[in-house]
Chain A
Amino acid sequence: MKRAKDPKLHGLYRSMERYIDGDARAYSEVYGVLSGRLRGFLLRMVSDRDAVEDILQVAFLKAHLARERFKLQTGDPDSAVQAWYFAIARNAAMDHLRKHYRKQRREVKRFAAEDDDQDPMARLADQSPTIEELGLDREREREIIDRVQAAIARLPAGQREVVELHKLRGMSMADIAERLEIREGAVRVRAHRAYKALAKWLSPSVFALLWWLSR
């Protein structure tokens, strides 16, 4: 069944087009419609209000710099604008999380290198999980990865290739199309079918797929 269109998004594509053509008022319209939604989405990913505001601003700035590259493929144009912004916000959030993780690792290494009297892990004890928790997490993670990899292996070769290039190598749809020497639309169709199939096969734990996609 087709999803009902969100009435709040109505006219978003037109505003986006005018924004790309240089209309500052249209930018305000796009910002007005999407900032609240993006903020909510980012809060679920990052859970830090200050960081979310930073990421939100980064996302809008990145979208501004890349706005000429926004292209309408198929489907509902208003939703396509929203999806484009969500993809940029998600990438910005992932960058933030990666940086945060690297920073924490550096901290731990620095503490260890200082050979402090105090146990470096003890300084992070409040925030860090216990060894048992880490072990369990790793086991659960391994199990999810195995399931997702098995599901990917079941995909037809054409779809598997697209998923691997897109998710594992981080290539854009345009780059994949160039590499496989097929149209970008065809790449998107393959990716859509592949992700749909993966979601179906992994349906008891769709969250696993979401977790994997968000890596």
Chain B
Amino acid sequence: MMNRILIWLALTLLAPAAIAIDTGEAFDDPVLQARYEKIISEVRCVTCQNVTIRDSNVFIAADLRREIRRLISEGKSDAEVFDFLVTRYGDFVLYRPRLAGKTLFLWIAPFFLILAGGIAISRVVRHRMTLPIDDDAIEEGPTR
């Protein structure tokens, strides 16, 4: 009985390995592996566009992972790896777009929207502060 439970437990724990997406060989150096994993979780898959290449098992994602692994093992820096991708596929592939002319709008838009929202709220609040406090109006309102 105990054996059977252990076998089931072992199978359950091993199961996720069977659906692993990244079947490439891991780096021996944990530092390089960590860099690799961070990079692939920030790169958009070009055919399945709302997924990172870490989470996609289409072959082009596997190809890109292989190229990134190669670049890292050749001693390239993170910036050089991202450069490699951007020159081929454009800023679009980066989930964290770089601050540059074309992507400037992406970076400043949120601050602009917060500012616009803040101005709108302050205007509404100021307007309401000028209204007389008049609870009677509610009580005397039409009743049904």
The answer on A and B forming one complex is no
